[in-house]
């Protein structure tokens, strides 16, 4: 026989941490909530792993980045969970779930029953093997999804000083890691499959600004090609990478950031899946009424665009977590989740935020030359739908977020370009 809880969260990442805080604020009682995580530590702010965690001086370490420090809220240490009567089951994988019978089985063989289940299993890093490249288990090939990956990367960085790193992928993991490697005095070459970095979001103009800066720091870019194989030494350490375009690059360290896949396998065949994630309604409730999904694993209705989407961003993990807890504990008081997509990143001294949707025509504004404050608007069918801003103040980010949510009409693109950031203040 196992234990029974009113609420169980499977997965102990960002969304789980924010859900836990919200449960306590809504008045959960001692012994009602259990969080099961296969990581050995309490929920933490995952974005720190590619930023402060990799710094050579004074790197960020737990407990300083447990959730919910990213929202300037309490830092939830294991002691906090204990004091709030929350059962934190760490280093334990959920092996199977029976969504109809409201039970699950963990890797220790325990059966746990619940009244409500929240799925917060996040995502895993895509492996090179999935693209037919063997050898990514070599000790100097690093992925970056969890704390153990980050520990390993930090160790390999230390032993690669003044050496060569190859970063595969130009998304935010690649860009943030490349900056951290440069700060650690490692020579970096980035290999990008597409025409420029952050290809899913950046326009060529935005990408050029950041790439020029990276090149000024000594980073080389090789574009339009992919990794095909590794060269190894007798210890099975990678010594070089071979690219499809025929290039061979020496490597003391390889960082791979080529995308993620949501962890949904426990629920396939039991819950409705859409766009690779668990389909939920505007209460974050899945096709089984007692099962909710939040964070990277959830495909939810974006009210603003009338469309189902899955987002892989920390702001969504935090807000969807709060919404699901509210929907479970105070259903009559909880309206539809009305979420404006938001994403941010930081590398070197840069910091940007993006709100909304990156579709339609683009208008750039601001000072791309000096690189202090600049951005872009996306305009679709005569309405502003997206805004990117580098170097904004807290107030400016709040203003662009509010304006983007309102989808204001744009009649004259040239006028919008002239007004620049000022436009959002007039909305
Ligand atoms: P998350 O991955 O945080 O947590 C899932 C948890 O479930 C993990 O602990 C996992 O081990 C556990 N788990 C999975 N299956 C399990 C099972 N069967 N049993 C038990 N436990 C299980 N976003 C952004 O907007 N800006 C940024 O700058 C960054 N930066 C960034 C850097 C790095 C290095 C990463 C990896 C990610 C980011 N992100 C980001 C993305 C952001 O971190 C991500 O969107 C959130 O962590 C998603 O939160 P979740 O709780 O959904 O998953």
Identify the residues whose C-beta falls under 6 Å from ligand 1.
10-16, 36-39, 46-47, 49-50, 93-94, 120-123, 144-146, 172-173, 263, 266, 295-297, 312-315, 317, 343-345
pLDDT for 269-279, tens place per residue?
999 999 999 99
Neighbouring residues of 372: CB distance < 8 A, sequence distance ≥ 6:
391
Domain ranges of the chain: 2-122+263-330, 128-260, 349-426
The residue-averaged pLDDT of 257-277 equals 98
Q: What is the DSSP string of 285-342?
A: B-SSTTEEE-GGGEEEEETTTTEEEE---HHHHHHHHHHHHHHHH-GGG--------E
Which fold does the domain 128-260 belong to in CATH? FAD/NAD(P)-binding domain (3.50.50)
CATH 3.60.15.10 holds for 349-426 = no
Q: Which of 12, 314, 320, 343 to mutate to test the pocket of ligand 1 (most atoms within 8 A of CB)?
A: 314
CA distances (Å), origin 128, targets 141, 255, 275, 407:
10, 11, 22, 40
Give residue 13's pLDDT.
Answer: 98
The yes-or-no verdict on residue 231 having pLDDT over 90 is yes
Give residue 371's pLDDT.
Answer: 83
pLDDT for 135-174, tens place per residue?
999 999 999 999 999 999 999 999 998 999 999 999 999 9
**pLDDT band for position 214 (cuts 50, 70, 90):** very high
Name the residue among 205, 200, 212, 213 with its Cα closest to residue 169: 200
Give residue 370's pLDDT.
Answer: 84
The residue-averaged pLDDT of 62-80 equals 97
**What pTM was estimated for this model as a whole?**
0.97
Measured in angstroms, how far is the CA atom of residue 344 from the centroid of ligand 1? 15
CATH code reported for the domain at 2-122+263-330? 3.50.50.60
Give residue 369's pLDDT.
Answer: 87
pLDDT for 179-190, tens place per residue?
999 999 999 999
Give residue 2's pLDDT.
Answer: 86
**Identical fold between 2-122+263-330 and 128-260:** yes
Give residue 1's pLDDT.
Answer: 66
The yes-or-no verdict on residue 106 having pLDDT over 80 is yes
Measured in angstroms, how far is the CA atom of residue 55 from the centroid of ligand 1? 20
Computed over every residue of the chain, the mean pLDDT equals: 97
Q: CA neighbours within 13 Å on the CB side: how many for 107?
A: 11
Token representation of residue 288? 């089984």
Instruction: Report residue 36: phi and psi, to 5°.
Output: -115, 120
Give residue 326's pLDDT.
Answer: 98
């Amino acid at each position: 026989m196992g234990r029974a809880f009113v609420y169980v969260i499977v997965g102990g990442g960002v969304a789980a941490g924010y859900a836990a805080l919200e449960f306590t604020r809504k008045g959960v009682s001692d012994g009602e909530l259990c969080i099961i995580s296969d990581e050995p530590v309490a929920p933490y702010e995952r974005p720190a792993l590619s930023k402060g965690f990799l710094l050579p001086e004074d790197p960020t370490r737990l407990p300083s980045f447990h959730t919910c420090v990213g929202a300037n809220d309490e830092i939830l240490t294991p002691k906090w969970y204990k004091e709030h009567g929350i059962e934190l089951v760490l280093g334990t994988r959920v092996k199977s779930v029976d969504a109809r019978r409201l039970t699950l089985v963990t890797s220790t063989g325990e059966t746990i029953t619940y009244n409500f289940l929240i799925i917060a299993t996040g995502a895993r890093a895509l492996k090179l093997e999935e693209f037919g490249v063997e050898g990514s288990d070599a000790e100097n090939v690093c992925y970056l999804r969890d704390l153990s990956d980050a520990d390993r990367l930090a160790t390999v960085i230390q032993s690669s000083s003044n050496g060569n790193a190859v970063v595969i992928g130009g998304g935010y993991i690649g860009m943030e890691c490349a900056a951290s490697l440069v700060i650690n005095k490692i020579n970096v070459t980035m290999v990008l499959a597409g025409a420029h970095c952050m290809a899913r979001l950046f326009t060529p103009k935005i990408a050029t600004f950041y790439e020029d800066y990276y090149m000024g720091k000594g980073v080389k870019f090789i574009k339009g090609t992919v990794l095909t194989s590794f060269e190894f030494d007798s210890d099975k350490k990678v010594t070089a990478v071979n690219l499809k375009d025929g290039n061979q690059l020496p490597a003391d360290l390889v960082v791979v950031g080529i995308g993620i896949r949501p962890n949904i396998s426990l629920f396939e065949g039991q819950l409705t899946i859409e766009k690779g994630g668990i389909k939920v309604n505007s209460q974050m409730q899945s096709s089984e009424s007692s099962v909710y999904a939040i964070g990277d694993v959830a495909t939810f209705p974006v009210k603003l665009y009338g469309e189902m989407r899955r987002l892989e961003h920390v702001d969504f993990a935090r807000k969807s977590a709060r919404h699901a807890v509210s929907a479970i504990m105070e259903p009559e008081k909880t309206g539809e989740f009305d979420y404006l997509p938001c994403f941010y990143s930081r590398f070197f001294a840069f910091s940007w935020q993006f709100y909304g949707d990156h579709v339609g025509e683009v208008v750039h504004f601001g000072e791309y030359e000096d690189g202090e404050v600049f951005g872009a608007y996306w305009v679709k069918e005569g309405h502003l739908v997206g805004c990117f801003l580098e170097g904004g103040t807290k107030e400016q980010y709040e203003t662009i977020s509010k304006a983007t949510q309102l989808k204001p009409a744009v009649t004259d693109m040239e006028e919008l370009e002239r007004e620049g950031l000022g436009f959002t203040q007039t909305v």
